Chain A
Amino acid sequence: MKKIAISELNSLFAAIAADRKLYIPTDDSTGQSQFTIWEEGSILSRNVNTVRSAKDSFFPQVENLMGFKVTGKQIELIETRDPAESFAVFGVRACDVRSFDILDRVFLTEPVDTYYAQRRENVCIISLACGKPSETCFCTAFGIDPAEPKGDVTCWMTGEALYWQPNTEKGEALTAQLSVLVDADVADIEQEKAAIRATAEKLPFGKLDLSAFGQGKTKELFNRPEWKALSQSCLGCGTCTFICPTCQCYDIQEFNNGKTVKRFRCWDSCMYSDFTKMSAGQPRPTQTERFRQRFMHKLVYYPDNNEGIFACVGCGRCLRKCPIHMNIVKVIKTMGEGTK
């Protein structure tokens, strides 16, 4: 266990950023938090979480896959992949750290997504325990401990100091480079951890009953009448999917200027009318089916394919940001009550 005074945080960030890009949460002009590249003068946000999740680090909204150049009957392949470079993300909360495990199971299973894998290999995740969880937080419902986030390094912040605990080889290697850190006693943060857990006990959805969902529940849930009312006023926008740390669907598109073709992928949303549209038409013709898809994927289909693990981490972003305030908690509660 190491530590550094809060007043010295800047020198810690400077030391990490000495040989790599460092992303930290900073407040934007409207006071919301965003992961931004650290530079001299960056100020660490004190918000509980960022608007966009940390998945952007490995799975950016838009990413070039490859290019083609057509000359006569010749097609030349152009490499457009970003060069591999190591980077670090500081301030990742316990929920987002868990989301990486969920994404890994999709992108790192054969056939491995090499674009994602490259970034994943080159990152050092520095997590940060949640001092002040929001009422929308419910990570504990998924067995996540906000007082003990995983990652290559785990940090805790008290009033005076930032505590630093490396967990992996990558974390140890980074720690060895950081002479600004001084030794600390593990016992120093026990009080902080206890305080976080005490707050987590009080979270309104911290013990959400998930028994209606999970492996093998497709038949029970698919045709339930409640989907209609739940999706009734859904605007069909992509807010929930784009801010979600575990939403992973993307579309592959091409930009063609007649001579060269740029093939890229970009986030897609099951809430959109053309999602997975095929020549035969749209498999989910109304918003009810699209809405159902999103929650069935997180709470039934993903667990079906991944030993019962839910594809939600309880970060609460959708609770805050849905324009009509419909969200996964309301779905879980409504369906759960209907099952009893």
Chain B
Amino acid sequence: MQRVKEKAIELLRSGEVSRVLGWKTGEFFYDLTPAVFESVEEVEKGFVFSLFSGANLSKYLIAESKKEGKIAVFLKPCDSFSFVQLQKEHRIKRENIYAVGIQCDGMCDGESLRSAGCEGMTGVEDGESLTVHTLYGDQVIEKKEALLGKCQTCKSKRIVDFDELIGQQGEDVPSDRFAEVAKLEAMTPEERFAFWRTELSRCIRCNACRNVCPACSCEKCVFDNPVSGVQNKAVADSFEENMFHIIRAFHVTARCTDCGECSRVCPQNIPLHLLNRKFIKDINELYGDYQAGADFDSRPPLMDFRMDDPEPSVIYTRGGAAK
């Protein structure tokens, strides 16, 4: 992990880049902040790559790559899918970016440690299992119990696009990420409706999910536009409010790489990624396996037209797609 910081220093020192996008130390061991470093001194003082570098930095490149000079960015495998997807959508200037791929074994954060039962945390020792120091004594927890939700169903260790790699290139890994979706599909419509109404009833409409989402890159969101008639604050009723998430999921369909940031940042632990995953699963079943951000050449199924495209409405009246 120290190699990542050394690389940041080396890139700045050699003049290869003028800025580095990475993670900055916080007040605790777990509260790292995405940050742009402009000098070796800044990196030495504050740069850190650790078990708590969960934040996906690729969306910051939309603004950062348009500035003068070259910027280095550190990308974990899942982040690299967003990076490629943003390139496909012409949202970032690749020539201004030096991408360093870094391998990853899964990330944690303060909230994931808290849900694993830690409170009053003052320090951590990273090993086979985690020893968390707290105001109330040490706690040993299994790392997999404290992983971020998105890391528990990691889909790939492959870094799709990079200029340089730290560590080994990885491969797609078997993942049961659709299991939770299948569970929802097995419910009756009434049960499913009740499930989502309960989950979404906790929404406080903070827009963190939208603002962190690399696929939500509109210059001005329709929900931020006071003349749109659907401005975020105009809550007609709670049901309409719930629709925001469904509309957003539709909007990012076939562009969502399943990076899981939406669920990571939700203060209310709403499993928003399940909406996106349902669409990914449907696309896989209807149009053949497709992974957004996995390559530069494929066309997103919903932005493409082929004569043999199936007609979902017809398929569903006949009992659904072949499994």
Interface, chain A (partner B; CB < 8 A) = 28-32, 34, 48, 51-52, 61-62, 132-135, 199, 202-205, 229, 232-233, 235-239, 241-243, 251, 253, 255, 264, 266-269, 272-274, 277, 319-321, 323-327, 329-330, 333
B121 contacts the other chain (CB 8 A) = yes
Q: Does B302 contact A (CB under 8 A)?
A: no
B38 to chain A, nearest CB (A): 10
Q: Nearest B residue to A48 by beta-carbon distance?
A: B119
Given that A62-B235, A320-B110, A325-B32 are known contacts, is A237 also in contact with B212, CB under 8 Å in the complex? yes
Q: Which residues of B contact A323 (CB under 8 A)?
A: 55, 208, 211-212, 264-265
Selected interface stretch from B23-31, B91-99, B243-251: B23-31
A51 touching B33, Cβ below 8 Å: no
| A32-B268, A266-B233, A274-B224 given; A242·B204 CB < 8 A | yes
The 6 residue pairs across chains A and B that have the minimum distance between CB atoms: A323-B265, A325-B31, A30-B269, A237-B208, A235-B211, A238-B206
Report 9 cross-chain contacts, Cβ distance below 8 Å, ordered by A residue. A32-B268, A203-B135, A232-B36, A235-B211, A238-B206, A238-B208, A242-B205, A323-B264, A330-B33
Q: What distance in Å separates the Cβ of B169 from its nearest Cβ neighbour in chain A?
A: 28
Contact A266 B267 (CB under 8 A): no
Residue B252 at the A interface, CB < 8 A? no
Distance, CA A323 to CA B60, complexed state (A): 14
Cβ-defined contact, A324 with B135, below 8 A: no
List the A residue with the shortest CB-CB distance to B269.
Answer: A30
B198 located at the interface, meaning its Cβ lies under 8 Å from any Cβ of chain A in the complex: yes
Complex Cα spacing A4 to B199, Å:
35
In the complex, which residues of chain A have a beta carbon less than 8 angstroms from the beta carbon of B136? 132
B317 at the interface (CB under 8 A from A): no
The chain A residue with its CB closest to the CB of B59 is A235
Interface of A is mostly: loop
Question: Is the pair A132, B27 in contact by a Cβ cutoff of 8 Å?
Answer: no
Residues of B74-120 whose CB lies within 8 A of A: 110-111, 114-115, 119-120
Whole-angstrom distance from the CB of A191 to the nearest CB of chain B? 17
B 11-41 binary contact with A (CB < 8 Å = 1; else 0): 0000000000000001110111111100000
Measured CB to CB, the closest approach of chain A to B66, in angstroms, equals 15
B222 within 8 A of A: no
B153 cross-chain contacts in A, Cβ below 8 A: none
Q: How far is the CA of A50 from the CA of B198 in the complex (A)?
A: 18
- Pairwise interchain contact B267-A243, C-beta atoms closer than 8 A: yes
Report yes or no: A34 in contact with B212, Cβ–Cβ below 8 A.
no
Most buried by A among B32, B115, B136, B232: B232
> Which among A236, A267, A320 is the interface contact of B211 at CB below 8 angstroms?
A236
- Contact, CB under 8 Å: B115 / A30: yes
- B315 contacts A by Cβ under 8 Å: no
A34 vs B115: C-alpha distance when bound (angstroms):
15
Known: A266-B235, A268-B233, A330-B26. A325 touches B224 (CB 8 A): no
Closest to A256 in B: B229
C-alpha spacing A166/B212, complex, angstroms: 46
Nearest-CB residue, chain A, relative to B117: A31
Alpha-carbon distance between A31 and B233 when the two chains are bound, in angstroms: 28
Contacts of A237 in B (CB 8 A): 206-208, 210-212, 265
Beyond the given A233-B35, A319-B31, could you list 13 further A-B residue pairs with CB under 8 A, ordered by the A residue number? Answer: A34-B202, A132-B136, A133-B120, A133-B135, A134-B120, A135-B135, A203-B135, A204-B28, A236-B211, A239-B267, A242-B204, A327-B31, A330-B26
Query: Which chain B residue shows the least CB distance to A56?
Result: B204
Residue B122, interface by CB 8 Å: yes
Find out whether the CB atom of B205 lies under 8 angstroms from the CB atom of A238. yes
Minimal Cβ-Cβ distance residue in A for B111: A320
The reply on B226 being an interface residue by CB < 8 A is yes
Given contacts A32-B269, A62-B235, A132-B119, contact A232 B26 (CB under 8 A): no
